[in-house]
Chain A
Amino acid sequence: MNKMPTANKLFMLLGFFFLYAPIASLIIYSFNESRLVTVWGGFSLKWYGEMFNNDDLLAAAGLSFKIAFLAATLAVVLGTVAGFVLARFGAFRGHSLFAGLTTAPMVMPEVIVGLSMLLLFVSLQSSLGCSADDPGGLFTRLGCWAFGERGMITIWIGHTTLCMAYVAVLVQARLKELDRSLEDAAMDLGCHPFKVFFVITIPVIAPALVSGWLLSFTLSLDDYVLTAFLSGPGSTTLPQWIFSSVRIGPTPEVNALATVVIVIVTVFVVISNRLMLSAQAKRDRAMQAAFAGKTE
């Protein structure tokens, strides 16, 4: 840091000021007595009270947390398999299409993804012919339970598809960095590929899985556009609540909510960063020791 020229230091300061000034202003005005958000009316904690008494907000937050948990978990499962296939399986028929499909959700505009998924669900719904009087066979019942109404399940599927792309990229990158010799050695010793995957690969890429899960959780918790297409009348998520209250006018409860979110996120990121660094250092030492032992 000390070697850095003054101009660079100044630029870094400006850059971080740009990143943090908006967040600081959110936090400061959450303690404002006045409803007019940016006109200072004295220090107050009343918006935090209002936030915790707002039933719509709490219900929306509850639903969002539930969906984010489900989506992150399924995205980690599917994304890990996808990343593993891309990093370790070499070429197979349809490989390039598969590679394209895994990364495309990251850049594809969400309005397109949202609309197309909605049209899929609506088409499924009308071709299944869901009705309360005639539930139909097992297949129809299952289909109608999942797609008959837009709501939690359709949002879950949408978020999972978006998040698994990020997990796949993280896992793929981590696997590419890794020495394959551990996996090869286990395989040579007669270990079944599935066992190798669960006993060797998964523990070694665990940091990528943790960051993939956390990233998916925040992406899902934060998503407005996909949810706008995939949610039904009874399912309002937190971003939808925020979006509609922000559009109505100044809402200090949103500032209070933002402060709570920022505090939780900061604590979480700092702790997980510490844990990941120490875990990585420990593993690197162990690997070094193992390889040093091998060559002696």
Chain B
Amino acid sequence: MVETGIPRLDKFLGDGIPAGKSMVYFNHPGVEGDVFGMQTLYHNLSKDISCVYITSSSNPGLMKDYFTEFGWSIRKFEDKLTIIDAYSSLVGDLSDEKYIVSDPENIENMNEIIIQVMKDVPKKSVIMVGSLSTIMDLCGEEKTLEAIKLWNKMTLMYDHVIIYNFTAWPYSKSTIHAIKDKIFNSVITVGGIAERVIFGQYFGVLKADWADHKAQSMLFRVLRPGGIKIYIPKILVTGPFDAGKSTFVHSLSTRAISVDRLGTTIALDHGHIDHKGFSADIFGTPGQERFDPIIKMISGEALGIFLVVDSTAPKDFVRAKQMLEITKGYGLPYVIIANKQDIPGAMSVDDIRSQFNIPEDVPIIPVIATESKGVFEAFELLVEKITGGA
């Protein structure tokens, strides 16, 4: 299996892309879909897999520089990377590459070079078409569709995996239909959430003929450096007064801020976390009852909940349960944080579960927030639940 290197996408695809298969990133104009293909290429190069990149909208040097914007130095993998330069001739530049398409507007010329490279590189290579839409613009829709069929066939023959970046400009209906439904084994849609402007980006598996995939979309952000990160815009942190919610938010976050008075949160804690390919904004609420409307308000928009309890204060469990009830109507996944495990007399996870009457399928994580112990395990678990992985 060839992994895409995109968090969660490999899971959707049943661990990656099998040899001989084709996949297209179907990118809506204006979203950073091309980064998906780049991340996939870099991920495979760094796993010592032979890769081919067909560049048709920038010269090879610029293409390599573009990778470095994301912290991916592909120059160190030059022995594993073959570049097909299908750009320089278009603008009259000279090229140092071994494989050059001398007439990028001629699909026959493109075919000739691509097929030659597919034969020359080791079997099970990853072939990346940097911009299928540019090839289509230069060579025409019908001719390009025919060429894709040929490249996919050759991919199957040589056990490669071929991946295309495609920007879905308003091509003819038949072209879009062929791309979305007919000629690829897998289609990953990368789109934008737009109202007046595009204010969020998502991806989802539209088709994967080898995997049982769910129709599910993930929000993402593109970080420089870092690349694609799954983005969870709102996670609620709630729990009784003095349970350690602010400490939990701060220990988990890459950056955080609290609005407090005399050491007690009186408005909100806010933190942002980037961890293992996931990016999230975390909002902590005050624990006192008079602030309960805030919990309701944030629960309406949150995607998951951390309920923080003080493991040494069973008297507060009733209040904790009451806070959980406020949010339950929203059906959000949640993880219980059994905080202050370092303090003598702290109850064990099992004791909390029985005293709290928590069902077995609800995770309770032992945490020492002051030492950041257990906080990332809790985050990973909640992300699994939110993204449908658990």
- Say whether A and B bind each other: no
Which positions in A face B, CB cutoff 8 Å? none
Which positions in B face A, CB cutoff 8 Å? none
